[in-house]
Amino acid sequence: MGSGAAYGVGMTKVALVTGASSGIGESIAVHLVESGWTVHAVARRVDRMAGLAARGVTTFAMDVTDDASMVAGIDRIIEEQGQIDALVNNAGYGSYGPVEHVPIDEARRQFEVNVFGLARLTQLVTPHLRTRRRGRIVNISSIGGKIYEPLGAWYHATKFAVEGFSDSLRIELAPFGIDVVIVEPGPILSEWNTIARESLVERSVGTVYEDAARRMAVLLERVDTSRMTSGPEAVAEKVLKALEATNPAARYPAGRGARAAVVARRLLPDRAMDLVVRQAFTS
């Protein structure tokens, strides 16, 4: 696959990175600007991106659940730079809890952030990439788009959706010189784990799922500080590789344990995978 549209030394390279106020998004923006890219980093809170601005990254507010905010952001980049070469859809979060008790409004919000915001920005950027017949769209998925966990159904549903969306889009845009790449992080040190743990326990208190939720929260906390977890730079390095490879792969697992998890899911029958998950999260 691939358009062969890699960027050489001295060529202007303009990227938009979403969800850049911390963690993976912040690290991606740093790696790109240090590699010679002109980077526009966006998040809802601009004050949390002061460190990026000091490094030469252009930062401004964007809410991926607000259409006007996204339209204005793309218009601004085109007005200031005259082009856009890469979109890194990183904005997303993990909200956990039993399907029986997670409010449908929260489920919808998670899809709005993790899937529809990504899709809308893709719609807005594609005409600019297609006109130039080159460009890259990198969607940050997760090994959670391949494997699954109890009490995380809505989060996993969004990441499975990102995987299917990206695979279809890759074929759809290939004739126009646009590459679509999926990056699949494993456990990464970031705010994600804390948000997932807190929502998991909060929505399970007083229900039949409370004991399982507390055990799972302890496991998530343990993983967040163990040797199984990588820093956000592990993802940033794969994103940079995806953007600068002449012929990028369709997907890049990122961080410790990511490739092993993807391979295990591919090889294990459903019953065997269910047993592994049960033993990991409910024993």
Residue 9 within any structural domain of the chain: no
Residue 4 within any structural domain of the chain: no
The CATH number assigned to the domain holding 167 equals: 3.40.50.720
Structural domain of 144: 14-282
Query: CA–CA separation, 215 vs 205, rounded Å?
Result: 12
Is the pLDDT at 112 greater than 90? The verdict is yes
- The tally of domains found in the chain comes to 1
User: Region 150-159: what's the mean pLDDT?
Assistant: 96
Reported as a single tens digit per residue, the pLDDT across 218-263 is 888 887 766 778 899 999 999 999 999 999 999 999 988 899 999 9
> What pLDDT is attached to residue 7?
54
DSSP secondary structure letters along the chain: --------TT---EEEESS-SSHHHHHHHHHHHHTT-EEEEEES-GGGGHHHHHTT-EEEE--TT-HHHHHHHHHHHHHHHS---EEEE---------TTTS-HHHHHHHHIIIIIHHHHHHHHHHHHHHHHT-EEEEEE--GGGTS--TT-HHHHHHHHHHHHHHHHHHHHHGGGTEEEEEEEE-SBSSHHHHHHHHHHHHTTTTSTTHHHHHHHHHHHHHHTTSTT-B-THHHHHHHHHHHH-SS--SEEEESTTHHHHHHHHHHS-HHHHHHHHHHHHH-
> What pLDDT is attached to residue 1?
41
Burial (CB count within 10 angstroms: exposed 0-12, middle 13-18, buried 19+), residue 66? middle
> What pLDDT is attached to residue 283?
62
Reported as a single tens digit per residue, the pLDDT across 34-58 is 999 999 999 999 999 999 999 999 9
Catalytic sites, residue numbers: 155
Residue 169 within any structural domain of the chain: yes
Residue 5 within any structural domain of the chain: no
Reported as a single tens digit per residue, the pLDDT across 158-210 is 999 999 999 999 999 999 999 999 999 998 887 777 888 888 999 999 999 99
- Mean pLDDT computed over every residue of the chain: 92
Is the pLDDT at 282 greater than 90? The verdict is no
> What pLDDT is attached to residue 187?
87
Residue 160 within any structural domain of the chain: yes
Residue 31 within any structural domain of the chain: yes
Residue 170 within any structural domain of the chain: yes
> What pLDDT is attached to residue 122?
98
Beta pairing, strands 178-185 & 58-61: unpaired
User: Region 250-278: what's the mean pLDDT?
Assistant: 92
User: Region 11-32: what's the mean pLDDT?
Assistant: 94
Residue 270 within any structural domain of the chain: yes
